[in-house]
Each structure stands twice: as structure tokens, then as C-alpha cells.
A and B are shown apart, each in its own frame.
Chain A
Amino acid sequence: MHNSTPYSSINMRKSLIITLLVSLMAVTARAQEKFIFTPQWTAQAQFAGYYVALEKGFYKDLGLDVEIVHPSVTQSAINRIQNNESHATTLQLAQAMEIVGDGIPLVNILQTSMNNAMVIVSRRGKNPLEQQGEKVGIWQAGFGQIAICMSINDNLGYRWVPFANNVNLFIEGAVDATLAMSYNEYYQLKQTGIEFTEDNVYRFCDHGYNIQEDGLYMTLEYYNKHQDQARRFADASRKGWEYAMENPEETLDIVMRMVQKNNIPTNSVLQKLMLDEVIRLLHDRESGKAEFRLRKDMVDKASRYMYEIGMLNRPVTYEEILAK
């Protein structure tokens, strides 16, 4: 570069100036609103659409200055929402309904998942439905609502073992079976060399518990004040997901950058498998399309299950959680 011609130097300088001018104009044209988004888990491909929307400038395009702040040990996503430290988070439908039922009004501003991804995997060769009363791992951080309903409904009476990480408990044989997300723990377990068959994996979606999961939520209070902003955030996020579906390879790169930035002990193989699975889950089983909508039937079903076993002290309705 020491030998660059005078012409190219002039050119470089010129382009620098133009870039500066353009960015200045953009700032003046539209005041960027700060928006903090916290996904409910550490950085991983589960949130690929949001990372893409951020990286590709979809938020910026809609005038949002989005910052993604992952939850920490000290601060869970829902804590951040309640404390107004974050403006939006992702939650599973059942998890959100449980929170709403507990008296914290939340609204769904974008539904991404159209399917249930939860599975029960049991130790080699054992059918989870035949493991009555056995020790089954469950996330200490929540997410197990539908599994609890199923254990009661199907009279399985599992003894739940809350875990922070289920891999070691499972391979050591400390639990007989464990809950897992088909895009995450399922692959983590598989990565330890465990071979799953049709017999030792129970998929909730195949047994009448196909209740959609991840969606974008914010408190009703914040939503009521910032409806336009919420809509723009949802729109840009949806755009991010649509881009991710069309460009899975680029998306994986974006995810891996985010993962590395956050020092997550994972690898690109797991993230690729997760991304593929999450994209699959975006598609409704019946229509085969990524619909990005909350399904009333699923809300009603989840409400009924959870209310029946006393997890909800009142039914939570579709209308109640859907952003107007």
C-alpha cells in the first residue's frame, strides 16, 4: 500500500468524506430510537432472525437503534423486561401464558415458532411413555410447562430433576430421561455419542401437545405506549427471520460471530443443526408455511392444559396476549 498512486489516495480520501456526509445526513434525517432486546437464552441460532435483522440493518432501516443484550446468571430475560431494562424478549408461549397468569400482562408482538420443539429423551432404548415415576430432567429456568401437563395428563408421574445443564446428568445416568429442545439439548446429547432411535425419543408435537413456542413479547404497559415502535421492531425481526430462511449459510456466519462474541461454549456444527431445526419449526405443520402468527387453537389448548392442572389459576386468552 506504500506504493499507492496519488490518484488512488485522492479517491480514498474522497470516498471517506462522502461516507461521513451520508451517515451524518442519516442521523439528522431520523433520530434513532434506542431499543433493547433480550432473547431468553444465551447467544445461539435459536435467535438467528434477530441477529440477522441487526447485522443486515433491518432495525436501523425502520429507525430503531436495537441493542441485543443476552440474559446473564444474575438477570434473566423476564427480569429485565419487568425492570424495564429491556423492551422486548422472546418467550415460549406456555411460559408467557404462565407469566401472564401470574399477573404480569405481556403482549405477543410477533410469533415465530409454529411448532412445539420439546422432546423427552430417555436412556438408551427406553420408551419415555413407559418410564412412569422415573427421574426426568427439567430446565431449572422454566420452559417445562407442557411437559408437566403431559406427565400429569398421561399419569406418568415423572420425578422432575431441575437442571442448569442436563448433558452430564444424562450421560452419568443421574437422570433416567430428560426434557430437551429438538434444536438444542437434543443435539448436545447426540454430540456425546448417544444414539437416538424412534423408541427413546418422545416428541410432544406428535402426541397432541403441538403448542407453538418462541414469540416476541413485551409488557402490555410498554406496548401501549410504544405501539408503533413495537410494530416496527416486529416487522424488522420478521424480515430478519425471512432473510435467515433464504440465506442459511450467511446466517450461520452471523450466528457464529455472535456466539464467539459472547464466549458461548458451542460449535458451528451444533449451531448449523440448531438453525436448520429452528427454521423448520417456523413452518406450520399444516400449511407448510412460515406464518408468523399466533394460533388461537394452540393458545386455547395450552390454556386448557395449564388451567386443568392448576398451573394457571385462570384461563389466559388469545385475545389477551395478542398485540392489538
Chain B
Amino acid sequence: MKQEKQKSLSTRLSIWIVLFAAVIFIAALGVFFAESRNAVRREAINNATQVLDNTVQRVDNILKGVKVATENTAWLVGRHLDEPDSMFTYCRSILQNNPNLNGCSIAFEPFHYRQKGLYFSAYALNENGRIQTTQEGNDHYQYFYLDWYQLPKLLDRPCWTEPFRDFNPEDIYSKEMIISYCIPIKDTDQRYIGTMSVDLSLDWLSKTISAVKPYPNSYSIMIGKGGTFFVHPDSSKLFYQTIFTQTMLEPDSSVINLGHDMQAGLEGVRQMDIDGTNSYVFFKPLAETGWSVGIVCPASDIFGGYFRLINSIIGIVIVGLLLMLMVFSSIITKQLEPLEDLVYQAETIASGNLLEELPEYTHNDEIGLLNKSFRNMQLSIVNQMEELKKVNEQKGRIQSELKIARDIQMAMLPKIFPPYPDRDDIDVFGKLTPAKEVGGDLFDFYIRDEKLLFCIGDVSGKGVPASLYMVVTRALFRTISAHESSPSKIIQNLNEVMSKGNESNMFVTMFIGVLDLPTGRLHYCNAGHDAPLLIGNTGAGMLPVDSNLPVGVLPEWKFSLQETLLDPDTTIFLYTDGLTEAENIDHKQFEMSRMVELAKSMQKAGTFTPTFVVNEMTEKVQAFVGEADQSDDLTMLAIQYTKHHKDIVYQHSLTLTNDLKRVPRLNAFIDEVCEANGFDMSTTMQINLAIEEAVVNVMNYAYPEGTKGDINVEAKSNGEVMKFIIRDTGVPFDPTVKEEVDITLSAEDREIGGLGIHLIRQIMDNINYERTEGHNVLTLTKKLPK
């Protein structure tokens, strides 16, 4: 595996290098090839063009000679038109003077010379140096229809004929292919009267042109104005075909264009396919006749040497590149060997063996640096691992501390349900589910002096900070409520304490209620918390609350106190926003409306005990939230007031003025009541002491000094407990909230009343104060003896 990796790296590197080299080679060679090809091409074109120029020049010179000779003779002819027979002399002499000429005709229009008849054409023929003359016209050689005669006549100027084969069945004629230079003969009135034509054998011309062979496989062609091949190595094309013939069946625009350009007397070079061979065609017109001479050179002839050179260079380059590939591959493999060792060691380290010794590498190159870096990395990994271990340990500690904190926090919450199994007037159930290990929600309740003090709260934020705040809140609640029964005052005190030094700007929404158990009167104060639900026999709905501010925001805020009277069996349901704002996976909230609906349905079903309400709510909210994470602490507290007043079986009452002298009257009244209800002597004495203490307290403090006021003492029994209800109309005063007596102080230093209340609490089973309808109502309860 390692071997393979390294192989592939060195191979890859080598391939890249060789590819790059190949690209450079290709580019360089491409330029070289293109340049040298152009050079070869230019050279070839120059060469061929020069050969062509020379040839054309030579042919043109000959043709020019013919032309000059003809014109000279024509001048003589023109001067002797009145001597028809002299024409034979002229045509003979031109041949004599120009041995390269093949023949000469001086032909006249039909009946031009009446004495000569229809035909008169003096003709001389040079047959291998023997010159013969004749009058060539006859019924089978009607010369005036022939090109050589007609062309100058119709064109009204001298001209060259296309090469042709003459045939005169009844006279001498040239057996060779000839071309003629023809001049119109005109009389003195410049009227056309005949044609003088001088013939040149095509043979010499053909040989001259065919001999041009600048390359081994090149050949020459010549086409006439009609495109006919008059020189061509292929005898099937010679005279019988034009350059266009094949294109009539298989159109070939390059050939057609070449043909047209050659016909047009242009000069040039073309690269094209000729009979399946890639060829160059050099062409140039003969100035005299307008025919075009061409040299066809196969490209392989021109570029033969060039291609051989290219092939050997390409061969060398390929071999060179392959060698490069091999050499580079082996060099790189060799150079990378230390890297291989390093890789092996690194894998060992990676498999967990952190202390594995790295190989020694002394060179100070990249691999050396890598080696060094690797050592450093190894060291720092070891250190990091140590660090990590420590951090993990710390984290574990924090986690366990958090767990403990949670346990403590949970322990602060009431957790024994039902909390008052012995009581028939109250049932409570509560539950707190924190979103994190520790939470900021709280609830609490306890009974003091026949009053159920309860609260629910939600600290802003979550986690440890919130939990700390919660603990403080809960502790303060307990502390303050121990001697303060007014919810608004409790909250106010709380608020004052908590607003001070609240640098982290935390706050608690809270609801505190104090339920007077004997009467079902509920005093409550809300500090920015959601309104609780009331579910009772007659319906379900929100408890109307003033919102006020949360605790911890404004120290001087005055919290309003509210009150209501609970019907028996009514359940108060308190909750935090963890219920109403519970979110499902689509970020939809559970919302107040769902909760109220649920409460109403429970109400309709007639089942709304605290346990049922809380569990049902829990179940429904969990079903709603589903897979989503719990986003906030969820706290619920339900309290059901189940007091049912038993029938009064005994009732007796006494009203006194606030005069201490009336105390004996009171004692007599108590004795009477106790006796009537079966209390023993000792208990009766104690009860007497407690009631007296309470009444004297009222007599001393309820009314301002010097004013009179009544104190009513009512004794009531329902067969189970005996209640002594002390009412007065004095200043509101709650003796139950006085500090527990500090019995370490001397009697004189103790606050008045303090010891009395302590005594009362010792004697009586329960003590309860209420201020109703302008009365202080203090209720002292004692169980009847069995």
C-alpha cells in the first residue's frame, strides 16, 4: 500500500514533468515544423515558378517570332492583293524563312477572285523540310467554315486558334496537331476579304512544356482557352478532355476554380487533390495565346525531405520523452525514499503510538523540514493530549458538580406528594423539568398558621446563573414569608433585596399566593408572571391578575395585592412559560389557548385534581413537542382547595371592651367553653393562658391609647376542633408575623407580644390571622380531646 502510494506519486510527478516537456516540445516543434514547412513551400514555389517562368518565356518567344513573321508577310500580302498567284510565293517564302513553321494559308472569301471561283486558299506545307504549295480549298475542305479562317474574320483582329488537327481529304495537309496564328486580310477599304494563317506544330511546344520536371513525380499540363488539355501525360485526356470534364459528373470546386483562373489568364499556385494525390499546381498563362501552362507537383515530392525530417524528429522526441519518464521516475522514487520512511512512522503514530521515534534525516531540504515539523507536531500532539486529558477531567468534575447542584436544586423543591396527606382541605402537586442540568424555574409552598403560602417563578435565562438566582429567590421567599403573610409585601421585600446589586440584570417573574385555608380566601400578588388558571366546579378560566413588573427590575416598584375567594374544589393551576412556549420541531408554540382548552376539557370531565391536571398537561405538551429538544424549563404547580365546612355543634360568644379589668370575665368564659367541650383541667388552663395572652395583646395595642374598642371572642366546635376567633376593629395588626422569640434575651429586652405569640403557638394547634372587612380576625385552633 505504502509502496503503491509512493510509486504513484513519483509516477504522477514524472508524467506531469514529461507531459509538460511534451507540451513545450510540441509547441516548439509545431513552430519549427510550420516555419520550415513554409520555408520549404516558399522554396518550392520559387523553384517551380522560376521553371515555369522560363518555360513560358521560351514558348512565348517562339510564338512571338511566329507572330512577327506572320505580320511581316501579311503586310506584303496586303500590298499585292491584286496578284492572287503571288500568294503562293508568300506562303512558301514564310516557311522558307522560318523553318520551325509547319504551314501557311492565305485564304480568301468565296469568289473573292472571280477567276479563282468559290475557293481560293494558297497553302504551303513544310513536310520535313520539303515545302509544297497548293490551292487547298475544295468541296470537302470548305475552309471558310473552319476556325482558323472564321475567327479573325468574326473577331476582326489577329488571333491564335486552339490546337487542332487539319484534314483535307483531297489535298496535302499537315498530319500533325497544329496551332495557327491568323490575321484578317483587308482590302484598301479596310473590308475583310480573307484570312492569313500560319501554322506551328504543337509537337515542339508540347515537348518543351512536357520536359519541365522540377520534381521527380511532377508533370506539366497546358490547357487552351476552352480548358482542353493540349499537354498532359495522360493520353486519354490529351485533346479529348478539358480540365472541367470530370467535374461534370463529380463536381469539384477546387478543380473548377483552378480551371476558371487558368482560363482567365491568372498566375498562381494551388494546393489541391489531383487524381487522389495531394498536389501543388503552379500555373501561368502564355501571354501570346491566353493558354495556361501548369506544373502539377505531388506534395510528397515537395515535402518528401521535410516529412522525413519531421518523422525522425518526432521519433527522437518520443524516445527522449520515454527516457525522461523512466529517468525522472527513478530519480524521484529515490529522492522520496526518506518520505516513505516518514510515512510509515507517521502511520504508526497515527495508530496511537504517539511516542514512536521518527527516523533520522540529516539533510536540510524539504523532507528534512517536513521531518522536523513532524517531530514538532508529534511533540505538540503529546502536549495537547495531556491538556485535553486535564480539560476532560475538569469537565467531568464540573459535570459532577452540576449534577450535585441539580440535586441540591431539586431538593429545594417540595418533592413529597401528596404533601399533606392528613389534611382534607388542601391538595397540592408540582413538577419541575429543567431544560439543562440546572434550571431557573422555581415553585414552593408550605402551610403556616392555616395559610398555604405558595409561589411559582421563572428566572430570566437558563443554566447555572439562572439556577443561582432561583436558589436565592426561593430562599428569600422562605425567609420573608416566614414572618410576612401578605403576598405583595413578600414580593416587595424580595424585589428590594434582589434589585440591589443586580449587576447581571437578572430578574424573576413570580406569582405568590397565600390561601387562607379556613376561609378559602386567596391573597395573591403577581410579578410579571403568567396568570394562573382556575378550574372549578362552575368553569375554568384565568385568574385576573395585575401584571406588575418582574422581581429584580425596579427596587421601588409598588406591587399590587389582589384577592379572591375560592370555592371548594377549585384548583389553581400555575405554570411557567416553559409550558405555553414549548416548541415543536416546526417551531410552533404550545400556546395559552391549547392550555386553556385542555383545562376546559378537564373541567367538563369533572376531573381536575392537581396530580391529574399536572400529569395531563405534561403528557399533552410532550405529545405536542414530539422529537424537538426542550427549549425551556417546564414547571407546573396545581393546588386544589378541598375545604368542606363541617356543621357547627357548639358555639358560644363573648364581647369585651379593651379594659384589662375584663380579663377575669374572659377566663370564666374560656373555662366554661373548655369544660363544655371536654378539655381537661390542665389543657383548659393552658388554653385560657393562650387566649388571655392574645386578647390582652389586643387590649393593649389594637386601639390607640385612651380610646375604647370592643373585642369579640367566639368559640366554635365542629366536633373535631375547637376554634377561638378573636375579632377587633383596631389598627390592622398581625401577631403571627412577629419574630419568633429570641429566648436568649432577658425578659425585659424582649419585644412585647413576642413571647406571647410564642406561648400561644406552644399551646394551640394552630394560629391564623386575617384582616377582613375592617376587622383583625385571629383564629386559634385546638383539637378536641378524643
Do A and B belong to a common assembly?
Answer: yes
Which chain A residues have a beta carbon within 8 Å of chain B's beta carbons?
A: 72-74, 135, 140, 161-165, 167-169, 171-175, 187, 190-193, 265-267, 269-270, 272-273
CB distance from B628 to the nearest CB of A (A): 86
B145 close to A163 (CB less than 8 A): yes
Does B697 sit at the interface, judged by CB under 8 A?
Answer: no
Q: In the bound complex, how far is the Cα of B237 from the Cα of A171, in angstroms?
A: 20
Contact A174 to B150, CB < 8 A, known contacts A167-B226, A193-B259: yes
Please state if A164 and B146 are interface contacts (CB–CB under 8 Å). Answer: yes
Contact status A135-B154, CB under 8 Å: yes
* Alpha-carbon gap, A265 to B150, bound state (A): 21
Kindly list chain B residues whose C-beta atoms are within 8 Å of the C-beta of A172: 151, 155, 159, 225
Q: Which of A163, A168, A171, A190 contacts B248 (CB 8 A)?
A: A190
- 10 additional contacts, CB 8 Å, given A168-B161, A269-B245? A164-B147, A168-B151, A169-B154, A174-B154, A190-B248, A192-B227, A193-B227, A267-B245, A269-B249, A273-B248
A193 touches B244 (CB 8 A): yes
Task: Tell me the bound Cα distance from A234 to B691 in angstroms.
Answer: 167
B183 in the interface, Cβ–Cβ < 8 Å?
no
Nearest 7 interchain pairs by C-beta: A174-B154, A192-B226, A74-B140, A140-B145, A164-B145, A193-B244, A267-B240
Residue pairs across A and B with Cβ atoms less than 8 A apart, 7 shown, are: A73-B169, A74-B170, A171-B225, A267-B241, A269-B248, A269-B249, A273-B249
Q: Is the CB of B161 within 8 A of A193?
A: no
Contact residues in A for B169 (Cβ distance below 8 Å): 72-74
CB of B552, distance to nearest CB on chain A (Å): 106
Cα–Cα distance between A33 and B159 once the two chains are bound (Å): 53
What residues of chain B lie closer than 8 Å to A265, measured between beta carbons? Answer: 165, 239-240
Contacts of B505 in A (CB 8 A): none
Residues of A close to B248: CB separation below 8 A: 187, 190-191, 269, 273
Who on chain A is nearest to B170 by CB?
Answer: A74
In the complex, chain B residues whose CB is within 8 Å of the CB of A187: 248
Q: A169-B147, A269-B248 are in contact. Are A193 and B240 (CB under 8 A)?
A: no
A319 CA / B62 CA spacing, docked (Å): 63
Bound CA–CA A174/B151 (angstroms)? 6
For B244, the chain A residues whose CB sits under 8 A away are: 190-193
Residue of B nearest to A163 (CB): B145
Nearest-neighbour CB distance to chain B for A251, whole angstroms, equals 16
Query: Is there contact, CB below 8 Å, between B245 and A165?
Result: no
Q: Tell yes or no: B98 within 8 A of A by CB.
A: no
Query: A165's contact among B147, B159, B260, by CB below 8 Å, is which?
Result: B147
B6 proximal to A (CB < 8 A): no
B142 touches which of A140, A190, A270 (Cβ 8 Å): A140
Q: Which residues of A contact B15 (CB under 8 A)?
A: none
B146 touches A193 (CB 8 A): no
Partner pick for A163 among B150, B225, B249, B263, CB 8 A cutoff: B150
Within 8 A of A (CB), among B259-284: 259-260, 263
B133 touches A (CB below 8 Å): no
Tell me if A162 and B167 are in contact (CB < 8 A): no
Contact string against A for B residues 137-148, beta-carbon threshold 8 Å, 1 for contact and 0 otherwise? 000111001110
Most B C-beta atoms less than 10 A away, residue of A164, A168, A187:
A168
Q: State A169–B244 Cα separation when bound (angstroms).
A: 19
A193 and B246 within 8 A (CB): no
Other-chain contact of A270, B162, B165, B245 (Cβ < 8 Å)? B245
A266-B154 contact in complex given A72-B169, A169-B147, C-beta closer than 8 Å: no
Interface presence of B202 (CB below 8 A): no
| Contact among A173, A192, A270 with B155 in the assembled complex (CB-CB below 8 Å) | A173
Given A171-B225, A272-B249: A161 and B150 within 8 A (CB)? Answer: yes
B147, closest chain A residue (CB):
A168
Instruction: Give Cα distance in the complex from A162 to B244, angstroms.
Output: 27
A264 to chain B: closest residue by CB:
B240
Distance between Cα atoms of A305 and B706 in the complex (Å): 169
Chain A neighbourhood of B228, CB < 8 A: 192
Question: Which residues of the partner chain B approach A163 to less than 8 Å between Cβ atoms?
Answer: 145, 150
Interface residues in B156-206 (C-beta closer than 8 Å to A): 159, 161-162, 165, 167, 169-170
In the bound assembly, the distance between CA atoms of A214 and B336 in angstroms comes to 95
Residue of A nearest to B156 (CB): A174
B329 to chain A, nearest CB (A): 62
Q: Which residues of B contact A272 (CB under 8 A)?
A: 249
Interface membership of B128, Cβ < 8 A: no
List A contacts of B242 (CB < 8 A): 191-193
Most A Cβ at <10 Å: residue of B142, B226, B248: B226
Residue of B nearest to A135 (CB): B154
Residue from the list B140, B226, B249 in contact with A171, Cβ < 8 A: B226
Per the bound structure, the CA–CA distance linking A231 and B256 in Å amounts to 48
Chain A hits for B296, CB < 8 A: none
CB distance from A201 to the nearest CB of B (A): 16
Q: A193-B244, A269-B245, A269-B249 are in contact. Are A73 and B141 (CB under 8 A)?
A: yes
Known: A161-B154, A167-B226. A193 touches B162 (CB 8 A): no
Q: Which residue of B lies closest to A139 (CB)?
A: B145
Chain B residues with CB under 8 Å of A72's CB are: 169
Give bound CA distance, A187 to B227, whole Å.
13
Q: How far is the CA of A171 from the CA of B159 in the complex (A)?
A: 13
**Residues from chain A with Cβ under 8 Å of B150 in the complex:** 161, 163, 169, 174
B-side contacts of A191, CB under 8 Å? 226-227, 241-242, 244-245, 248
Q: B170 contacts which chain A residues (CB < 8 A)?
A: 74
Q: Which residues of A contact B154 (CB under 8 A)?
A: 135, 161, 169, 174-175
Assess the A193–B256 pair: CB atoms within 8 A: yes
Which chain A residues lie closer than 8 Å to B239 at the CB level?
Answer: 265
Cross-interface CB contact of A193 among B140, B142, B155, B260, cutoff 8 Å: B260
Q: Which of B155, B167, B241, B263 sits near A269, CB closer than 8 Å?
A: B241
Residue contact A266 to B240, C-beta cutoff 8 Å: yes
Least CB distance, A233 to chain B, in whole angstroms:
29
Q: Is B744 an interface residue (CB 8 A)?
A: no
Bound state CA distance, A193 and B141, in angstroms? Answer: 30
- Is B97 interfacial (CB-CB < 8 Å)? no
Q: Please give, as numbers and ranges, the residues of chain B lying within 8 Å of A73 by CB-CB distance.
A: 140-141, 167, 169
- For B229-265 the 0/1 string (1 means CB < 8 A from A) is 0000000110111111110110000001001100100
CA of A238 to CA of B640, assembled, Å: 131
Complex formed: what's the CA distance from A162 to B150 in Å?
9
For the complex formed, measure the closest distance between the CB of B57 and the CB atoms of chain A, giving whole angstroms. 25
Query: What A residues does B249 contact at CB under 8 A?
Result: 269, 272-273
CA distance A135 to B154 in the complex (A): 9
- Report the minimum CB–CB distance from B147 to chain A (whole Å): 5
Task: Pick the contact of A162: B145, B241, B243, B256 (CB < 8 A).
Answer: B145
